[in-house]
Amino acid sequence: MDPHATETDRASTATRILDAAQAQIQRRGYNAVSYGDLADALDLTTAAVHYHFSSKADLGKALVARYRQANADARAAIQEEEETLRGQLERYVEGYVGILESGGLCLCGVLAADDETLPAPVRREVRGFFADQEDWLAEIIADADDAELAGHDAPREVAELLLATIEGAMLTTRHRGPDAYRTLLRRFIDTVAS
């Protein structure tokens, strides 16, 4: 492989670095992933990684920002394509299964555990991610037909509870496979939407 072959073939190096960083951090945590690990995985040098992301804070911030945006896009698609609250919640919850299948956790769940060691810009993005989820969930719960709601009142609290349940279920079921996660969240949704 000529290292100078028309790069940007398929995915740009910057994107591939973010992909590798995301996969590794979701499985191993922020502090266990080094520039060397990423360089090895992509057959590059650490200097090449530094060329695209000059510091680990930079890389982390870009990574969470991308994750946050991808999540926002997914939520928009759900809201457009699903008509019932139950359908929206089920697709939202199912969106995390792919991560579990590859052995990882929600990127921001992992980063929240490493919170005190994160550079400030990364920490801000992580909190923004959680706020995004809670805002959106509270909105779709508040907007749902009354007939569809079991636990009607306080959509914000239900939203927070769902988010906590998702993050926690990933953590406690990660070694038992995605079905354990699915079972838990189905039960949760049953208590919220008819």
Partner DNA sequence: CAGGGCTTACTAATCAGTAGGTAATTGTCT
Partner DNA sequence: AGACAATTACCTACTGATTAGTAAGCCCTG
* Contact between residue 108 and residue 64 where contact means Cβ atoms under 8 Å apart: yes
* Contact between residue 148 and residue 86 where contact means Cβ atoms under 8 Å apart: yes
- Helix 120-143 vs helix 155-173: angle between axes, to the nearest 10 degrees? 120
Contact call for residue 50 and its own copies (CB under 8 A): no
Nearer to DNA, 33 or 193 (CB): 33
Nearer to its own copies, 52 or 75 (CB): 75
Nearer to its own copies, 7 or 36 (CB): 36
| String of contacts with its own copies for each residue 163-192, x by CB under 8 A | xxxxxxx-xxxxx----x--xx--xx--x-
Nearer to its own copies, 38 or 163 (CB): 163
Among 81, 101, 115, 179, binds its own copies (CB under 8 A): 115
Q: How far is the CB of 26 from DNA (least distance, A)?
A: 16
Structure-block tokens of residue 141:
């719960």
Structure-block tokens of residue 33:
């992933």
CB-based burial of residue 177 (10 Å sphere; 0-12 exposed, 13-18 middle, 19+ buried)?
exposed
In order of 8, 11, 15, 38, the CA distances from 3 in angstroms are 11, 15, 17, 16
Residue identified by tokens 């809201």 is: 79
Q: Report H helices in 114-153.
A: 120-143
* Contact between residue 46 and residue 35 where contact means Cβ atoms under 8 Å apart: yes
Three-state secondary structure call for residue 153: coil
Contact call for residue 66 and its own copies (CB under 8 A): no
- Judged by beta carbon distances under 5 to 8 A according to partner kind, the member of DNA, its own copies, none in contact with residue 110 is its own copies
Question: How many residues form the binding site for its own copies (CB under 8 A)?
Answer: 42
Q: How far is the CB of 127 from DNA (least distance, A)?
A: 21
- Judged by beta carbon distances under 5 to 8 A according to partner kind, the member of its own copies, DNA, none in contact with residue 131 is none
Q: How far is the CB of 104 from its own copies (least distance, A)?
A: 9
Q: How far is the CB of 80 from its own copies (least distance, A)?
A: 26
Q: Rounded to whole angstroms, how far apart are CA atoms 48 and 5? A: 15
Please give the residue ranges that form the binding site for its own copies (CB under 8 A).
27-32, 103, 105, 109-110, 112-117, 127, 130, 151, 154, 157-158, 160-161, 163-169, 171-175, 180, 183-184, 187-188, 191
